[in-house]
């Protein structure tokens, strides 16, 4: 037998769904030195290992382009923390989303930058983050070894704090130039693009001109512009047009983060809450098939028009009825000036709490939301205090609150929802994550409102992972891709398996400019998932989220099996750093 026909692994007899959208075909896949060496029926040759994939699908590994797993990737035990990703078939993630990024923390305003990140990480990071630039982080992580492949965006919030500190205003020309120099540095070091979190402080303090100017740097050096929008409610049209204008002005690709729509009519908060709850009751109890997904359709038409005009725009979404983020994000922008420490100090003042409570309950969301009480995503005004549930805290003292709303917490401790929220933030040093949903967790009515997104040609699934060694995770951290395929391919038959795999592999790779991954073809990196479509299932729920899916048989990263026979192979760190290529 010639040496050219000796392989490391041969996957035999599977249905190869290659990620391009082309029809699946019966073939073997041969792997050598971390890459795909051959794809053909009946490959002749020897291999150190053979995998029988008869009756199963052989596909490229799933690519999660919206993740915060960069908050854990540097940890020595990151493979245990991020295990749920590979157990659901993910082989590559893109971190640094929503304006938060752990990769760029220079000496300037370092303390404020750390406080900004710690709102999401829920832990003190100063002792962990010993680097200042993306290149330093990438080199450190590669030396340590990665469980899976990682690409990075640099966050606008992180850049803005580094350039100007935690300021409630537009930037000066010099601060804008400094931020653009920082962005240039990060792109030159291999970051894939810029992420923005315009609902969050300090991204909320920017204007469109600031973003368009940053887009000029992306145009010059190559890179994508991604955005957690300023609003997902009645001003969603304006929020979409803002990020589309950045892409249009600079002829750069745009990725809209977790696109959904929260119905709201100005001056009708109580009526809107009642309508949504009545609709949920009618759908879930009376089994009336209310086509609530049509509400998002008009928003998708905005993207369709932009595509016809030449804007390269895509969006991601999560197959879940509840979102999640840091609790401080739901407070008015004026709370945040000076950073997390200053915000917590203000919240100790009873008079200040009353002002915040009044604005949360009565201030009408408007556009845009740089100051005052009219910020455009006042979620408490839209859904009531019951729309927020504690997701994760850092200490045992408040662990009993996880999964509960602030009215429930207030009833238990004899405090108002506002006092319960403020007390918890102070007690936890601002490090609290929450779920948000307009009705109840795992509501099929709310989940149906997203159906139009999942079948749209510009959609890709994503996890929005914030995996921590404590707290209640979201079920999508464990089952995002299996759930998406199960629901929309096997059960609802709204997508073919080829379409779903395309959305999970080569499409996110193309969006992010990742080369050599996302397709099963000769010469590509051997990132492969083998799964049984008939057995693909998830039992994870809001109340019991940390349950691994069934049907994911094998996960291979750069030629090495990280999951075999549905079991995690501990100690295998086969991932690579993915850098932007010119």
Per-residue pLDDT of the chain (582 residues; tens, 9 = 90+): 444 589 999 999 999 999 999 999 999 999 999 999 999 999 999 999 999 999 999 999 999 999 999 999 999 999 999 999 999 999 999 999 999 999 999 999 999 999 999 988 888 887 889 899 999 999 999 999 999 999 999 999 999 999 999 998 999 999 999 999 999 999 999 999 999 999 989 999 999 999 999 999 999 999 999 999 999 988 999 999 999 999 999 999 999 999 999 888 888 888 888 999 999 999 999 999 999 999 999 999 999 999 999 999 999 999 999 999 999 999 998 998 888 999 999 999 999 999 999 999 999 888 876 667 877 778 999 899 999 999 999 889 999 999 999 999 999 999 999 999 999 999 999 999 999 999 999 999 999 999 999 999 999 999 999 998 888 899 999 999 999 999 999 999 999 999 999 999 999 999 999 999 999 999 999 999 999 999 999 999 999 999 999 999 999 999 999 999 999 999 999 999 999 975
**Is position 315 within any domain?**
yes
Query: What strands, in cross-sheet order, belong to the sheet with 90-95?
Result: 62-64, 90-95, 149-152, 577-578
Beta-ladder partners of 151: 94, 578
d(CA 293, CA 276): 13
**Is position 102 within any domain?**
yes
End position of a domain, from candidates 386, 415, 436: 436
Q: Are 314 and 349 found together in one domain?
A: no
Q: What is the pLDDT of residue 1?
A: 40
Q: Are 194 and 243 found together in one domain?
A: yes
Q: What is the pLDDT of residue 354?
A: 97
Q: Are 431 and 445 found together in one domain?
A: no
End position of a domain, from candidates 373, 406, 436: 436
- Please give the distance of CA 521 from its chain centroid, rounded to a whole number: 28
**Is position 87 within any domain?**
yes
Q: Are 445 and 432 found together in one domain?
A: no
Q: Are 448 and 429 found together in one domain?
A: no
Q: What is the pLDDT of residue 4?
A: 56
Q: Are 137 and 122 found together in one domain?
A: yes
d(CA 529, CA 557): 9
What sections of 227-293 are H helices per DSSP? 236-250, 269-284
Strand ranges (E), 17-157:
25-32, 35-40, 46-52, 57-60, 62-64, 90-95, 149-152, 154-155
End position of a domain, from candidates 390, 420, 436: 436
Q: Are 198 and 146 found together in one domain?
A: yes
Specify the CATH number for the domain of residue 485: 3.20.20.140
**Residue 184: Cβ within 10 Å count:** 14
d(CA 8, CA 35): 10
Q: What is the pLDDT of residue 569?
A: 98
Q: Are 410 and 463 found together in one domain?
A: no
What is the phi-psi region of residue 258: left when phi exceeds 0, alpha when psi lies from -120 to 50, beta otherwise? left
Q: What is the pLDDT of residue 371?
A: 66
Count: domains in the chain: 2
Q: Give the domain extent around 389.
A: 334-436
């Amino acid at each position: 037998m010639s040496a050219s026909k000796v392989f490391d692994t041969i996957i035999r007899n599977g249905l190869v769904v290659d990620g391009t959208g082309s029809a699946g075909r019966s073939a073997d896949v041969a792997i050598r030195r971390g890459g795909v060496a051959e794809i053909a029926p009946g490959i002749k040759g020897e291999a150190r290992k053979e995998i029988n994939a008869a009756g199963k699908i052989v596909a490229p590994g799933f690519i999660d382009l919206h993740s915060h797993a960069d908050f854990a990737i540097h940890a020595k035990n990151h493979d245990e923390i991020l295990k749920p990703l590979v157990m659901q078939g993910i082989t590559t993630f893109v971190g640094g989303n929503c304006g938060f990024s752990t990769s760029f923390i220079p000496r300037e305003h370092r303390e404020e930058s750390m406080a900004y990140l710690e709102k999401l990480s829920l832990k003190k990071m100063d002792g962990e983050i010993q680097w200042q630039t993306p290149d330093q982080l990438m080199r450190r992580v590669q030396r340590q070894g990665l469980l899976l492949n990682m690409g990075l965006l640099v966050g606008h919030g992180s850049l803005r704090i580094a350039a100007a500190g935690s300021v409630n205003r537009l930037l000066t020309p010099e601060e804008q130039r400094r931020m653009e120099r920082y962005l240039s540095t990060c792109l030159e070091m291999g970051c894939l693009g810029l992420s923005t979190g315009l609902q969050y402080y300090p991204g909320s303090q920017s204007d469109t001109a600031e973003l368009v100017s940053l887009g000029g740097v992306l145009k010059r050096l190559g890179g994508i512009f991604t955005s957690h929008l300023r609003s997902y409610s009645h001003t969603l049209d304006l929020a979409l047009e803002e990020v589309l204008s950045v892409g249009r002005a600079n002829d750069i690709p745009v990725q809209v983060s977790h696109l959904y729509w929260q119905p709201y009519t100005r001056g009708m908060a109580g009526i809107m809450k009642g309508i949504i709850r009545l609709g949920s009751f009618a759908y879930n109890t009376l089994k009336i098939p209310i086509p609530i997904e049509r509400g998002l359709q008009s928003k998708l038409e905005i993207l369709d028009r932009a595509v016809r005009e030449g804007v390269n725009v895509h969006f991601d979404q999560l197959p879940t009825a509840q979102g999640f983020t840091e609790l401080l994000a739901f407070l008015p922008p004026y709370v945040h000036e000076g950073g997390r420490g200053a915000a917590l100090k203000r919240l100790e003042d009873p008079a200040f709490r009353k002002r915040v409570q009044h604005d949360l309950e009565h201030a009408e969301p408007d556009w845009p939301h740089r100051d005052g009480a009219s910020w455009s995503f006042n979620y408490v005004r839209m859904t009531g205090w019951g729309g927020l549930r504690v997701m994760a805290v850092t200490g045992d003292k408040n662990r009993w609150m996880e999964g509960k709303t602030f009215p429930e917490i207030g009833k238990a401790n004899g405090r108002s929802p506002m006092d319960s929220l403020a007390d918890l933030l102070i007690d936890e040093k601002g490090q609290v994550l929450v779920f948000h949903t307009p009705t109840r967790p795992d509501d099929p009515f709310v989940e149906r409102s997203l159906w139009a997104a999942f079948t749209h040609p510009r959609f890709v699934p994503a996890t929005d992972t914030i995996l921590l060694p404590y707290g209640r995770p979201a079920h999508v951290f464990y089952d995002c891709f299996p759930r998406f395929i199960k629901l929309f391919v096997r059960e609802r038959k709204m997508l073919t398996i080829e379409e779903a795999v395309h959305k999970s592999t080569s499409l996110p790779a193309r969006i992010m400019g990742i080369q050599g991954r996302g397709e099963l073809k000769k010469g590509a990196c051997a990132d492969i998932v083998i799964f049984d479509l008939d057995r693909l299932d998830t039992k994870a729920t809001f109340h019991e989220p940390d349950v691994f899916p069934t049907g994911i048989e094998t996960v291979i990263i750069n030629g090495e099996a990280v999951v075999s026979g549905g079991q995690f192979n501990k100690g295998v760190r086969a991932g690579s750093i993915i850098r932007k290529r010119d």
